[in-house]
């Protein structure tokens, strides 16, 4: 198989949550355990930091990796989902895994893994961990896909575990209360391994504290710091606090060494060092065009607050969502005076644009619908003056379709 054929094979391996939704969810780790056994337990061949959370885990992972890179370490980075290229998920020192490795890994393991039938996500975790093993990384920063307890990445025995924050997202899988969701995220806490927490609801923190005590895991709440980052979202302040606390615990508890200059440079060069995209990413200056992957209540609360603080004659918003998102809970966060350009991202899980339009009109928001994300963007751009602001978001998949246009 060539690279494109290999990707087609991976994407076809049982429904993929990001595209299909609930039908892709597996509520146990049996497949992952069998997969790692077949691969020779690559997860035991490198040291790691494991990061979970409702929002901020991707940014925190990239910040952490960037700082470690500045200190001269060979750093693996596993995150999801990707925006433009599958290989964004698996990087070493900011460089995506090679197409050749992806093809070779799948080709070499396809037959022996046929009985296990790994899902897309399980295949990708296995690929990442084998890559980090073969490349002999000094450390890997690994982000959970969803939840924690039953996430495929949760076979790691990390040096430090991190939970960035906890809010309502994926409630159909993780639970419909903060406490239940916290219990799932707290599943990454391992016996005797320190756990770092970001700013979060007291009810969530109490659950994590109890699990930490049960696991004899020392808990370190994030501490405020005054470092700056090239990531421009106001919400990144909390992620900076979490990342720097995790790195402090890493250096206190292990042989890893960092200096202040590494923290300063690493946080100022996250995009350059790791290639992170879609976090309050400025695509154009005049008019200001911004995109962000925020898609749940906590994430949108922050980005919409920042959007409304922009100096703009008129706000324009290209917006799309997925069908399993309860938009009724978050639509009140959207600016009332903005003009909305509605669309459906090109995935099976997308919310139908007609449903979206009904919801927006019932909420007295000025909206018009378009046949695609691209059409909505160009429709908005035509009406956007240099003194206006255009925001694009509502879903990771909307952002993924916008970025190739720039």
Res. 20 pLDDT band, cuts 50 70 90: very low
pLDDT score of 22? 47
For the stretch 137-152, pLDDT in tens is: 999 999 999 778 989 9
Q: Comparing C-alpha atoms, which of 228, 213, 247 is closest to residue 49?
A: 247
pLDDT score of 143? 98
**Of the listed ranges 172-181, 240-249, 284-293, the one predicted with least confidence:** 172-181
pLDDT score of 328? 87
Q: Is the pLDDT of residue 175 over 50?
A: no
Q: Domains of the chain, with CATH numbers? A: 3-274 (3.40.1190.10), 281-405 (3.90.190.20)
pLDDT score of 340? 98
For residue 48, give the 3-state DSSP assignment. strand
**Of the listed ranges 84-98, 236-250, 288-302, the one predicted with least confidence:** 288-302
Distance CA(355)–CA(353), nearest Å, equals 5
Could you tell me if 142 and 156 are in contact, meaning their C-beta atoms sit under 8 angstroms apart? yes
Q: Is the pLDDT of residue 227 over 50?
A: yes
Distance CA(182)–CA(208), nearest Å, equals 7
Q: Comparing C-alpha atoms, which of 85, 57, 275 is closest to residue 170?
A: 57
Q: Is the pLDDT of residue 45 over 80?
A: yes
Q: Is the pLDDT of residue 24 over 50?
A: no
Residue environment code for 194-221, b if the CB has 16+ CB neighbours within 10 A, otherwise e? bbbbbbbbeebbebbbebbeebebebbb
Distance CA(293)–CA(302), nearest Å, equals 12
Does the pTM surpass 0.85? The reply is yes
For the stretch 339-351, pLDDT in tens is: 999 999 999 889 9
Distance CA(84)–CA(64), nearest Å, equals 22
pLDDT (mean) for 102-112:
97
State the alpha helices, DSSP H only, in 136-295: 171-174, 178-185, 202-214, 236-253, 260-268, 270-274
Could you tell me if 340 and 368 are in contact, meaning their C-beta atoms sit under 8 angstroms apart? yes
Q: Is the pLDDT of residue 81 over 50?
A: yes
């Amino acid at each position: 198989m060539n690279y494109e054929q290999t990707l087609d094979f991976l994407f076809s391996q049982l429904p993929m949550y990001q595209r299909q939704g609930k039908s892709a969810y597996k509520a146990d780790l049996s497949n992952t355990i069998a997969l790692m056994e077949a691969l020779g337990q690559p997860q035991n061949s490198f040291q790691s930091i494991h990061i979970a959370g409702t929002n901020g885990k991707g940014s925190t992972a990239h910040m952490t990796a960037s700082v470690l890179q500045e200190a001269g370490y060979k750093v693996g980075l596993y995150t999801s989902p990707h925006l433009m290229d599958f290989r964004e998920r698996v990087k070493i020192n900011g460089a995506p895994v090679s197409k050749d490795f992806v093809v070779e890994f799948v080709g070499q393991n396809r037959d022996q893994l046929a009985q296990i039938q790994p899902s897309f996500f399980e295949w990708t975790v296995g690929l990442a961990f084998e890559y980090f093993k073969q490349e002999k990384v000094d450390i890997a920063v690994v982000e959970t896909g969803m939840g924690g307890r039953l996430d495929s990445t949760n076979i790691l025995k990390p040096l430090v575990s991190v939970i960035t924050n906890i809010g309502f997202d994926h409630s159909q899988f993780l639970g419909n209360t903060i406490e239940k969701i916290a219990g799932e995220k707290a599943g990454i806490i391992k016996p005797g391994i320190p756990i770092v927490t970001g700013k979060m609801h007291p009810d969530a923190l109490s659950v994590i504290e109890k699990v930490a005590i049960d696991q004899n895991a020392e808990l370190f709440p994030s501490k405020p710091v005054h470092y700056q980052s090239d990531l421009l979202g106001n919400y990144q302040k909390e992620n900076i606090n979490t990342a720097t606390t995790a790195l402090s615990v890493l250096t206190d508890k292990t042989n890893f060494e960092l200096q202040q200059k590494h923290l300063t440079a690493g946080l100022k060069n996250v995009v350059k060092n790791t290639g992170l995209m879609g976090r309050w990413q400025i695509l154009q200056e005049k008019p200001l065009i911004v995109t962000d992957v925020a898609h749940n209540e906590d994430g949108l609360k922050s980005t919409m607050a920042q959007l409304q603080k922009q100096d703009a004659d008129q706000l324009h918003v290209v917006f799309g969502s997925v069908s399993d998102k309860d938009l009724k809970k978050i639509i009140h966060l959207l600016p009332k005076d903005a003009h909305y350009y509605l669309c459906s991202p090109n995935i099976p899980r997308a919310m139908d644009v007609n449903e979206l339009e009904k919801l927006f009109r019932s909420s007295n928001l000025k909206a018009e619908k378009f046949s695609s994300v691209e059409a909505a963007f160009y429709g908005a751009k035509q009406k956007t003056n240099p003194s206006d602001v255009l925001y694009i978001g509502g879903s990771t998949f909307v952002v993924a379709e916008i970025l190739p246009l720039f």
